[in-house]
Structure 1
Amino acid sequence: MKIITVEEHFESAKITQEINQAVGKAAMPNVSKDMLHYMQTTLPTPTIMQDVTKDRIEFMDKFDIDQQVLSYGNSSPQNLDPKVAVKLCQDANDELAKAVKTNPTRFGALAVLPVGDPAAAATELKRAVNDLHFNGVLLKGNYQNKYFDDPFFLPIFEMASKLDVPVYFHPSFIAPSVTQHYFTSDNWSDVVTGILSSAGYGWHMDVGIQVMRMIVSGIFDKLPNLKLVSGHWGELVPMFLERLDDELDAYDGLKKSFSDYYRNNVYVTPSGILSKPQLNFLLAEMGPEHLIYSIDYPYKQPKNGRTFLDNTDLTPDQLEAFTHGNAERIFHLN
């Protein structure tokens, strides 16, 4: 069985150093002390994040992963001031291209873009796809509290649609005010608050809202070819497709139902949440052509990365689509 995973993260020592020089090592907007503590105690080391020749390959071989599609992790220049982000994103994509070239049959790549300058971001996406042979783009969180449905960002999505490459929406830190409102309490520790507001729930809710807003904005009527990828089994949204249809159909002014856009333009991945009930639910909601495998390495290194695939209820054809066929088609992987 051929296996491709599409949400696998990488960092460059050179780019991290340049980011630190540009903004200061302590600068980390919208990150609470609880989240900072959680990160410091749970995230992979820079050595693991930067590796593309030893531990990563050993992990891939152990779980029979033929190819990873790499994207920048937390150390990303995406949301910096465009005065520095444009050049840093170019450098970051060049560094990622070098990483892919160390083993081009084992790696693909998703571009990082300076979203604060959408015209420059669109130009960089075109370069990354046409010149560096990248397979799409990953957008992380939001930019200065603007979600990506804002017309300001439209040039990025127009370019992705024109190039026929997917846009992967990835979670990031939520605003401290949201953490305070939803997840802080005297009944539990600051560490639990940090977990609840981030990888436990909060940032999944936030990036699910990101996808929801894209649909309601009507962007898929403008760009019917645009493809979004949503990790963690769709970041909660698929649970509410029927509910959203019931509530929105009479009011939102879209040409189709919310669920029609979602099932046509969105692809979902597990991001290492390797659960058979969730897979079966998404199969029923989305169909086999919109499910793509992902591990979220090295943030997640699930021990059932291979056995999960051996014990699904998928038909052989559905399993082939899930493990590699859909990824090859959507990300244009050879």
Structure 2
Amino acid sequence: MQKKIDIYNHVLPPAYFELVKQHSKDAGLVKRMAGLPLLWDLEARAKMLAEQFPDVVQVLTLSAPAPEMLGDAQQSPAFARVANDGMAEICRRWPEQFPAFVASLPMNNVPEALKEMDRAINELGARGVQLITSVNGRPLDEPEFFPVFEAMANKHRLPVWMHPFRPGTRADYPGEERSRYEIWQVLGWPFESSVAMARMVFSGLLEKLPELRLITHHCGGMIPYFAGRAESLWAQLGSRSADGSEADVLKRLSKPPIEYFKMFYGDTVLGGSRAALRCGIEFFGVDHVVFASDCPFDPEGGPMFIREGIRSIEELGLSEEDNEKLYLGNALRLMRLKHLGGQS
């Protein structure tokens, strides 16, 4: 049986969930979290995996809200420590199901984020960090955040998991109070991923940090499916603006923009869509796609996205070698692990 690493799924350690209840201003989000027991009842989550998916292990990432979404620059470092200590404890208690976790950082306090990165990786054993696609609305390509990416690329040499977020209060049209029909999430989140990726490409972040490994949720958002449009229109960057100054951006990049987008990694979280997954794999290449589920945010509250994600891969009819890369090999390489449960 092919062992599988689910590299992008979510938890709320109980102590952090209490902080969410106390400090979150989003009542809808708290309601959603409370209705998903497998998000915070990790004993039940481990039991579900053992019984239904004995071939799957999960690398844990924190569910939104991130620490900087819960508190100011003075509060968020303590919130991040609670989250990371909680995930490390879950991994200690159920190592067979949860062999590793990804740290969260207080991104509204970069000096403390760097300290927490070192603590979580060096002392707790985190195998990367997770960032939201914007820091409370601020783009990740702002110079203030560069040291975080630099440390991950050149010091720790571990990946960054990038998770989209767009609030329901951001309306779809001017003049409306909020987004309708949950468009803010269904369509807005892949858009937010795509915007963050583009800003990283054109700001030169990947040019400066060629060793940076970024894992995008939902297989690169919109980018693989609009690759032709992205390649042909961004090749004319600056032609649509009055002063044309953005054309200079292309001169500062050493290769075509589309090649930088292919440096990202995509996960298989596409709701079980085989066609979308095939498109993502064709864009990124099989070496840059990793199996993930988004568990437990499915209509069944846990198992459905795991099951459907596996089905979408199996229906592609890939070679045994490519399946091994998607399910296991790529994730181990990214996290610099020789095998599950032990560091390289």
After TM superposition, list the pairs within 5 Å mapping 1:146-225 onto structure 2.
146-161=138-153, 162-174=155-167, 176-181=169-174, 193-198=180-185, 200-225=186-211
Q: Structure 1: how far apart are the matches of 2:260 and 2:331?
A: 20
Residue in structure 1 matched with residue 97 of structure 2 by the alignment: 106
Q: Structure 2: how far apart are the matches of 1:180 and 1:164?
A: 41
Residue in structure 1 matched with residue 86 of structure 2 by the alignment: 95
For residue 104 of structure 2, give the secondary structure of its aligned residue in structure 1. Answer: coil
Q: Contact 1:12–1:50 (CA<8 Å) still a contact in 2?
A: yes
Residue in structure 2 matched with residue 120 of structure 1 by the alignment: 112
Q: Contact 1:174–1:203 (CA<8 Å) still a contact in 2?
A: no
For residue 67 of structure 2, give the secondary structure of its aligned residue in structure 1. Answer: coil
Cα 1:60–1:255, aligned 2, differ >3 Å: closer, same or farther? farther
Residue in structure 1 matched with residue 268 of structure 2 by the alignment: 270
Is 1:52 aligned to residue 42 of structure 2?
Answer: yes
Q: Structure 2: how far apart are the matches of 1:43 and 1:121?
A: 25
Q: Indicate the RMSD between aligned Cα atoms, in angstroms.
A: 2.4
Q: Structure 1: how far apart are the matches of 2:188 and 2:33?
A: 17
Residue in structure 2 matched with residue 286 of structure 1 by the alignment: 284
Q: Contact 1:118–1:154 (CA<8 Å) still a contact in 2?
A: no
Give the deviation of 1:120 after TM superposition: 1.4
After TM superposition, list the pairs within 5 Å mapping 1:241-320 onto structure 2.
241-249=227-235, 251=247, 252=249, 253-264=252-263, 266-300=264-298, 301-302=304-305, 303-320=307-324
Give the deviation of 1:96 after TM superposition: 1.0
Give the deviation of 1:180 after TM superposition: 3.9
For residue 42 of structure 2, give the secondary structure of its aligned residue in structure 1. Answer: coil
Q: Structure 2: how far apart are the matches of 1:236 and 1:181?
A: 23
Q: Structure 2: how far apart are the matches of 1:238 and 1:168?
A: 18
Aligned length: 315
Give the deviation of 1:312 after TM superposition: 2.1
Structure 1 alignment gaps of length 5 or more: 29-35
Q: Contact 2:39–2:296 (CA<8 Å) still a contact in 1?
A: yes
Structure 2 alignment gaps of length 5 or more: 237-246, 299-303, 340-344
For residue 78 of structure 1, give the secondary structure of its aligned residue in structure 2. Answer: helix
Amino-acid identity (%): 23
User: What TM-score do the two structures reach when normalised by structure 1?
Assistant: 0.86
CA deviation profile, 1:227-253 (whole Å, cap 9, x unmatched):
111111211112233333323346223
Which of 135, 144, 148 is equivalent to 1:143?
Answer: 135
Q: Structure 2: how far apart are the matches of 1:272 and 1:238?
A: 12
Q: Contact 1:272–1:294 (CA<8 Å) still a contact in 2?
A: no
Residue in structure 1 matched with residue 124 of structure 2 by the alignment: 132
For residue 308 of structure 2, give the secondary structure of its aligned residue in structure 1. Answer: coil
Give the deviation of 1:41 after TM superposition: 6.8
Q: Tell me which amino acid in the other structure corresponds to 2:191.
A: M
Q: Contact 1:158–1:223 (CA<8 Å) still a contact in 2?
A: yes
Q: Structure 2: how far apart are the matches of 1:309 and 1:64?
A: 18
CA deviation profile, 1:181-219 (whole Å, cap 9, x unmatched):
49x69xxxx8x8142111x21122112211111111101
The one of the two structures with greater contact order (alpha-carbon pairs below 8 A, sep at least 6) is: 1
Q: Structure 1: how far apart are the matches of 2:181 and 2:46?
A: 28
Residue in structure 2 matched with residue 31 of structure 1 by the alignment: none
Cα 1:206–1:305, aligned 2, differ >3 Å: closer, same or farther? closer
Q: Structure 1: how far apart are the matches of 2:55 and 2:180?
A: 34
Give the deviation of 1:166 after TM superposition: 0.9
The more displaced of 148-157 and 303-312 is 303-312
User: What TM-score do the two structures reach when normalised by structure 2?
Assistant: 0.83
Q: Tell me which amino acid in the other structure corresponds to 2:323.
A: L
Q: Structure 1: how far apart are the matches of 2:32 and 2:108?
A: 30
Cα 1:177–1:297, aligned 2, differ >3 Å: closer, same or farther? closer
Q: Structure 2: how far apart are the matches of 1:44 and 1:309?
A: 31
Give the deviation of 1:9 after TM superposition: 0.6
Q: Structure 2: how far apart are the matches of 1:122 and 1:271?
A: 29
Q: Contact 1:11–1:75 (CA<8 Å) still a contact in 2?
A: no
Residue in structure 1 matched with residue 67 of structure 2 by the alignment: 77
Give the deviation of 1:176 after TM superposition: 2.7
Give the deviation of 1:40 after TM superposition: 6.7
Q: Tell me which amino acid in the other structure corresponds to 1:311.
A: E
Give the deviation of 1:313 after TM superposition: 2.3
Cα 1:249–1:75, aligned 2, differ >3 Å: closer, same or farther? closer
